[in-house]
A and B are shown apart, each in its own frame.
Chain A
Amino acid sequence: MPIDKTSEFIESVRQQIRWKKAQPVVIEEVENHIADQKNAFIQDGLNEDKALDKAIKEMGDPIVVGEQFNSIHKPKPDWAILLLISSLFILGILIQLYLFRNNDLSSNNIYGQLLGILIGIPIFFIAYLFDFTIIGKYPKIIFSFLFILNVYYIIEGNRVNGAITDTIYPLLLFPTVYAGLVYSMRNKGYIGIFICSVAFLIPASIAFVSPSMSTLLLLYISCLTILTAAVVKGWFKVKKLLGLLFIYLPTLFAFISLVYYFTIFSYRGERIKIFFLNDKSMGGVNWITTQIHTLLSNSKIIGTGSPIGQETIQIAESMPAIHTDFILTYSVYNFGWIVFAGILLLFAALIIRGFIITAKQKSVLGYLTSLSIITTMMVQCIIYIFANLGLMIFTPLSFPLLSYGGKYLVVNMFLLGLLLSVFRTGDYVRDKKGILVGIVPFIQYDNGTIHINLKSKTTK
């Protein structure tokens, strides 16, 4: 006699489902059903053994059932997003090629980009096949690894005009790791939120000392979004409103002081003024903004813009690093606003579709991970678009897939591959279980004493 007829049946079903990731979810449901059916038969008066036999018989042929499950549960990519990514990727290559062909840039540069493409494509597919739940299992290890890498870059990395440039690439991965870290703080109460807030300060300070204020802004928005989403989802098991206040009061204070600092005491204030006043004075940092204004005001809706000035200079020479930082301005002038609108539309579609599928994620891990990737993409885009339209409060990082920069391309391809990985397997990912016992209030008044509960004990 087999000790467990259920497992025998389940095993036969399982063997038919080829995609391993789908097995646990399907199996759990079938197991539950057999148990329910068996209990019903016992209530009808059958003994345990007979009830089980009958319950299993009711299920039908395990091979046939398993085969049906197998044909339903197959890994499928999200074709719409894959198509949008490929379009942007190809468009990026075309624009870069055009730019290099028509402008006298150093020929070394194109090999850097080519290398980025050659590494980026396999990285994209590796990330796509990567089991993203590892982010939720080992966030601290990955976090530490990225931190050490950054410390190394700060000490040994390249410097351009005194700024450390290499830290940006690992920092772009931080929001995603941060999603894993927040995930690992389930039911940890205010202590959990506090740890996450402190953890945010680590990448933030790296961005600050690098210094890259654009990266700081990106980290700020992405991590805040993740933390907010987690609190709203009840992940920390704290009262939502209090939890949000706990996050937003300190961050708001920090944000206001930063904004104040930068608008009053630095060149950023100047840049905003230039944008709004349309001041044509050509000095210092204003020069780039003025150049952008000149290019854009001479652009057409379709086709190349009207010639600027008397001398026919190469457009790429009119501004430094146009292929890196101002590829959109360049495209507007060279191909017309219509191309700009097209690019924006593609990217907006990618982000909106991304948000829609993110909202449908069944696991909090999948939800937070894809949210982190989408915000990382979105903030890069927004900073870039603003800068390219002449409002350069923040220096552009990159326009994902489009602007020049091999390392940026590789990092963004990795993140987008990971996003597709979440969308491919997200339906089959379950969060680790934790059972709610009750919410402990943050502040309790009891017999003349005030208790502040930093940890709401809720799991068993």
Chain B
Amino acid sequence: MAIDKSLLTGGTTMLLLKLLEQEDMYGYQMIEELKKKSKNVFELKAGTLYPLLHTMEKKGFVNSYDEEANNSRIRKYYSITKAGKQALQDKKDEWQIYAATINDIIGGVSFAY
């Protein structure tokens, strides 16, 4: 299923923060997880993911650290910060209002009361 990209970009940060809220991950892992969780709806491109992660790190939403993978390659893991958790909460609230409003207008079923 193809979804208009502009609808997604704002939400991607939220989705990534949500993933990291559960556990620390490296970039590739996030793409895979997102794909799995969304049943192949969200296929995030690496070219989008990394600049986004780096921006989030500059904003202080995530921290990164190096860890050695079993093949002695260094992997960069990301972990969510306190500020990141706050941002996730804010974005979630924002999204609920947004989704509810859209549903109101187009006449779908509103799931956010």
Give the B-binding residues of A (Cβ under 8 A).
Answer: 26, 28-30, 32-33, 35-37, 40, 58-61, 64-65, 68-69, 72-73, 362, 430, 433, 435
Interchain CA distance A28-B64 in the complex, whole Å: 14
Partner of A435, one of B48, B64, B68: B68
Q: A35-B73, A69-B54, A72-B54 are in contact. Are A60 and B68 (CB under 8 A)?
A: no
Nearest CB of chain B from residue A360's CB, rounded to whole Å: 8
B54 touches A58 (CB 8 A): no
Binary interface profile of B, 31-56, with partner A (CB < 8 Å = 1, else 0)?
A: 01000000000000111101100110
Q: Decide if B45 touches A59 in the complex (CB within 8 Å).
A: yes
CB pair B74 A30 closer than 8 Å: no
Q: Are A58 and B76 in contact (CB under 8 A)?
A: no
Proximity string of chain B (54-93) to chain A, C-beta cutoff 8 Å, 1 when within and 0 when not: 1100100000111010001111100000000000000000
B-side contacts of A73, CB under 8 Å: 54
Measured between beta carbons, the chain B residues less than 8 angstroms from A37 are: 28, 46
Are B74 and A33 in touch, CB under 8 angstroms? no
- Does the CB pair B45–A58 fall under 8 Å? yes
Residue of A59, A64, A73, A430 contacting most chain B CB atoms (<10 Å): A59
Give CA–CA (A69, B58) in the complex, Å.
12
A435 x B50 contact (CB < 8 A): no
B45-A33 in contact (CB<8A):
no
A446 to B72, alpha carbons, bound, how many Å? 33
* Distance in angstroms between the alpha carbons of A30 and B68 in the assembled complex: 16
Q: Mark B18-31, 1 if CB is under 8 A from A, else 0.
A: 00000000111000
Which chain B residues lie closer than 8 Å to A32 at the CB level?
A: 26-28, 73-76
Closest A residue, CB atoms, query B48: A60
Shortest distance from the beta carbon of B13 to any chain A beta carbon, whole Å: 14
Whole-angstrom distance between the alpha carbons of A433 and B47 in the complex?
Answer: 28
Q: Residue A29 contacts which of B47, B48, B76 (CB distance < 8 angstroms)? A: B76
B34 to chain A, nearest CB (A): 14
- A435 and B72 form a contact (CB under 8 A): yes
Interchain CB contact under 8 A, A28 and B46: no
5 pairs of residues in contact across A and B, judged by CB atoms under 8 Å: A32-B74, A40-B28, A65-B50, A72-B55, A362-B64
Interface centre among B54, B58, B75 (most CB of A within 10 A): B54
List the B side residues contacting A61 at CB < 8 Å.
47
| Cα–Cα distance between A36 and B66 once the two chains are bound (Å) | 16
Tell me whether A58 and B73 are in contact in the complex, defined as CB-CB below 8 angstroms, given that A69-B54, A72-B55, A362-B65 are known contacts.
Answer: no
Residues in chain A near residue B47, CB distance under 8 A: 59-61, 64-65, 68
Whether B46 pairs with A33 at a CB distance below 8 angstroms is yes
A358 → chain B closest CB, angstroms: 15
A69 CB contacts on chain B under 8 angstroms: 50-51, 54
The smallest beta-carbon distance between B53 and chain A, in angstroms, is 9
Closest approach, in angstroms, between the C-beta of B26 and any C-beta of chain A? 8
Q: Which residue of A lies closest to B58 (CB)?
A: A72
Q: Which residues of B contact A30 (CB under 8 A)?
A: 46, 50
Q: Which 3 A-B pairs have the closest CB atoms?
A: A60-B47, A68-B51, A36-B28
A65 — which chain B residues lie within 8 A by C-beta? Answer: 47, 50-51
Q: How far is the CB of A65 from chain B (nearest CB, A)?
A: 4
For B58, what are the chain A residues with a Cβ–Cβ distance below 8 Å? Answer: 72
Do A58 and B46 form a contact, CB below 8 Å, given A29-B76, A435-B72? Answer: yes
CA distance in complex: A60, B46 (Å): 7
The interface residues of chain B lying within 8 Å CB-to-CB of A362 are 64-65
A32-B27, A60-B48 known; 16 new pairs, CB 8 Å cut-off, are A28-B74, A28-B76, A29-B27, A29-B76, A32-B73, A33-B28, A58-B45, A60-B45, A60-B46, A60-B47, A64-B47, A65-B51, A68-B47, A69-B50, A362-B65, A435-B72
Candidates B27, B51, B55, B64; contact of A33 at CB < 8 Å: B27
Bound: A60/B51 CA distance, A: 12
How far is A435 from B75 in the complex, measured between Cα atoms in Å? 14
State A36–B27 Cα separation when bound (angstroms): 10
A433 and B66 alpha carbons, distance in the complex (Å): 11
CB-nearest residue of chain B to A73: B54
Contacts of A64 in B (CB 8 A): 47
Q: Which residue of B lies closest to A74 (CB)?
A: B58
CA distance A29 to B49 in the complex (A): 11
B26 proximity list for chain A (CB < 8 A)? 32
Q: How far is the CB of B51 from chain A (nearest CB, A)?
A: 4
**Also in contact, A59 and B76, with CB within 8 A (given A69-B51, A69-B54):** no
Give the nearest-CB partner of A427 in chain B. Answer: B57
A33→B54 contact, CB < 8 A: no
Which B residues touch A36, using CB under 8 A?
Answer: 28
- Shortest CB distance B82–A (Å): 13
The answer to whether A33 and B48 touch (CB under 8 A), given A72-B58, A362-B65, is no
A172 to chain B, nearest CB (A): 33
Residue of A nearest to B76 (CB): A29
B66 touches A33 (CB 8 A): no
In whole angstroms, how far apart are the Cα atoms of A125 and B10 in the complex? Answer: 39
What residues of chain B lie closer than 8 Å to A35, measured between beta carbons?
A: 73
Q: How far is the CB of A384 from chain B (nearest CB, A)?
A: 34
A57 to chain B minimum Cβ distance, whole angstroms, is: 10
B87 to chain A, nearest CB (A): 17
A1 to chain B, nearest CB (A): 24
